[in-house]
């Protein structure tokens, strides 16, 4: 996992006067790190905040649960807003779109408040039957093609297309495909070096999605429906409403966040459950266990990745014994916090009876995932429908070890061969 | 020195006591500290299962409780943000409140409430 780059480290230590003993020489973009997260991250979970050097800049990695909690809840000393300074362009993941995750303070509260009702338990309950039907259509398609199927491409990564994009946002199949192309291109931007342009195919896919969202907004404004975009258009807060730019940015955010998050989450759920047939059988017998079983899958199987989007220190401070300087990017590792034995004893053991509370897969604090209920509901229905319709389903190879792919920080299972019977 | 002294003073004049019923129907006596929110008090002083996913920003409605009717008028009025969130819940009742929106004061001594089911 460790790739030595001694010259770069020496220069950075001198420039920032870092405590050398707190530097871990690791390449955050390496596929080896993704593949070996089960051995690397439990070690991060024991370590005080440490530095990694990325493109000559230090970043702080947070692996311990309590340190992560402190940062998530401290909006005074940490901001999600990317500094407008040279070298920080790479943190602007979505090429100029101002996502909810990159706002803070009043601006964030206002937009979040306008979006919240669409993701409330009451609003989501109204979609339950529709989601179930949409997921059944997916399963019909899988069954029509035979006994074995590749569960990431045929199920995990397309669940949210059917539920959120088609049913909730109300996209046509063609519009959905434009989004999917953008979703395929986005990870490449996280591997783009500072100063380098984003790859041409990323820019083209992004432009196509931009054009599509603008046309959807115009169409829904003229003919409002019961969908999410119409709800956002009509959202009012004492006369306040989302501007066209905000509508665009947040429609984009919802679709992009949902695509990435639920794909990894569904992969984690399927792998976690079907890799443990004894516990799966308990869940099959007692469906009341489904929600806590899903929480354990989200905790155990890499859902929120090995590092999140950066936050930035707004002042010089010391956290968990490590000095963090103003402007420094701070990256929480949600998966490392899930392996913190002080919070989750014997953390690498998968146990649905653990009923883990307050996992950080959806973050915590003001930026806690707006769509967490939608995600959990989609995963629940997806698992329940599989259990209902195919009680003998399983992994093709019972001891299957997945390969992990995705953007920097993500732990997305590449393939998961399953069988229905 | 200052912290130790404060603790001694605290022991001599205990704060208001909240009576909280958990989701299994067990009653807990929680000694509260004035100035903190009721959410923090229940979660940390009372060690009750309150998720408080948004950390007290009135965004998530995971600190939802039912307040005993006699206490409803004695609590600070709801802001619009709180009403909107409660409106989006399936299990909200007329005596629902979000505990992150209620600061603990001496006058809340004896407040009785029940944790709402998670949703």
pLDDT digits (tens, 9 = 90+) for B27-49: 999 999 899 999 999 999 999 99
What values do phi and psi take at A130, rounded to 5?
-60, -45
Are B119 and A364 a contacting pair at CB < 8 A? no
When CB atoms are compared, the residue of A73, A117, A365 closest to B88 is A117
Contact residues, chain A, for B55 at CB < 8 Å:
72-73, 364-366, 368
Looking at residue A227, the DSSP 8-state letter turns out to be S
Q: Could you tell me which of A142, A175, A174, A172 has the C-alpha nearest to residue A157?
A: A142
Taking the C-alpha atoms of residue A143 and residue B59, their distance in angstroms, rounded to an integer, is: 41
Q: What is the pLDDT along chain A (421 residues), one digit of tens a residue?
A: 333 344 555 666 666 778 888 999 899 999 999 999 999 999 999 999 999 988 878 899 999 999 999 999 998 999 988 877 766 766 665 566 777 877 888 888 888 998 899 899 999 999 999 999 999 999 999 999 999 999 999 999 989 888 888 888 888 889 888 888 887 887 777 777 767 788 888 889 888 988 988 899 899 989 998 888 888 888 765 567 788 788 888 888 887 778 888 899 999 999 999 999 999 999 999 999 999 999 999 999 988 899 998 899 988 999 999 999 888 999 999 999 999 999 999 999 999 999 999 999 999 999 999 999 999 999 999 999 999 999 999 999 999 999 999 888 999 999 999 999 9
Asked if B57 reaches chain A (Cβ–Cβ under 8 Å), the answer is yes
What pLDDT is recorded for position A345?
98
For residues A84 and B1, the model is more confident at A84
What pLDDT is recorded for position A238?
57
Q: How confident is the model at residue B12 (pLDDT cuts 50, 70, 90)?
A: very low
The number of beta carbons lying within 10 Å of the beta carbon of residue A286 is 10
The number of beta carbons lying within 10 Å of the beta carbon of residue B75 is 18
Are B59 and A366 a contacting pair at CB < 8 A? yes
What pLDDT is recorded for position A298?
97
Q: Is the ipTM of this complex over 0.85?
A: yes
Contacts of A220 (CB under 8 A, 6+ apart): A170, A227, A229, A230, A233
């Amino acid at each position: 996992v460790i790739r030595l780059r001694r010259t770069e480290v020496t220069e950075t230590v001198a420039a920032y006067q870092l405590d050398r003993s707190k530097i871990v020489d690791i390449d955050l973009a390496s596929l080896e790190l993704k593949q070996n997260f089960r051995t690397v991250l439990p070690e991060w979970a024991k370590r005080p905040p440490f530095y990694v050097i990325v493109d000559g800049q230090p970043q702080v990695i947070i692996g311990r649960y309590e340190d992560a909690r402190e940062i998530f809840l401290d909006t005074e000393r940490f901001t999600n807003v990317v500094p407008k300074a040279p070298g920080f362009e790479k943190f602007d993941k979505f090429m100029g779109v101002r996502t909810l995750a990159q706002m803070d303070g009043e601006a964030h509260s206002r937009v979040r408040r306008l979006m919240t009702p669409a993701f409330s338990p009451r609003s989501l309950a109204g979609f339950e039957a529709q989601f179930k039907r949409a997921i059944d259509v997916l399963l019909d398609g899988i069954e029509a093609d035979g006994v074995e199927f590749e569960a990431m491409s045929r199920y995990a990564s397309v669940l949210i297309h059917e539920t959120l994009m088609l049913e909730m946002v109300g996209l046509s199949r063609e519009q959905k495909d434009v989004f999917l192309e953008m979703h395929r291109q986005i990870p490449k931007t996280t591997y783009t070096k500072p100063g380098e342009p984003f790859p041409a195919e990323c820019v083209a896919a992004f432009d196509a999605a931009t054009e599509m969202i603008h046309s959807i907004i115009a169409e829904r404004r003229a003919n409002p429906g019961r969908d999410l975009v119409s709800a956002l258009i009509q959202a009012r807060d004492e006369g306040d409403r989302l501007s066209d730019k905000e509508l665009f940015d947040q429609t984009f955010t919802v679709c992009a966040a949902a695509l990435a998050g639920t794909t990894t989450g569904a992969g984690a759920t399927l792998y976690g459950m079907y890799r443990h047939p004894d516990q799966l059988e308990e869940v099959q017998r007692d469906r009341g266990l489904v929600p806590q079983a899903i929480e354990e899958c989200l905790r155990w199987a890499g859902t929120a990745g090995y590092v999140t989007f950066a936050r930035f220190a707004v002042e010089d401070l010391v956290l968990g014994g490590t000095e963090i300087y103003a402007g420094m990017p701070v990256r929480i590792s949600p998966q490392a916090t899930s392996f913190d034995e002080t919070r989750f004893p014997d953390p690498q053991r998968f146990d649905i009876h653990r009923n883990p509370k307050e996992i950080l897969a959806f973050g915590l604090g003001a930026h806690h995932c707006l769509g967490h209920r939608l995600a959990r509901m989609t995963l629940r229905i997806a698992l329940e429908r599989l259990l209902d319709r195919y009680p003998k389903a399983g992994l093709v190879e019972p001891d299957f070890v997945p390969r992990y792919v995705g953007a920097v920080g993500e732990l997305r299972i590449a393939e998961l061969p399953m069988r229905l019977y | 020195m200052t912290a130790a002294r404060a603790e001694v003073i605290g022991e001599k004049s205990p704060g208001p006591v909240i009576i909280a019923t958990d989701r299994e129907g067990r009653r807990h006596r929680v000694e509260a500290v004035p100035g903190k929110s009721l959410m923090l008090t229940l979660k940390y002083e009372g060690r009750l299962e309150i998720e408080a996913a948004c950390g007290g920003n009135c965004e998530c409605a995971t600190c939802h409780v039912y307040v005993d009717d006699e206490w409803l008028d004695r609590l600070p009025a709801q802001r619009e943000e709180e009403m909107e969130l409660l409106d989006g819940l399936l299990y909200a009742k007329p005596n629902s409140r979000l505990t992150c929106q209620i600061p603990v004061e001496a006058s809340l001594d004896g407040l009785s409430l029940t944790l709402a089911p998670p949703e």
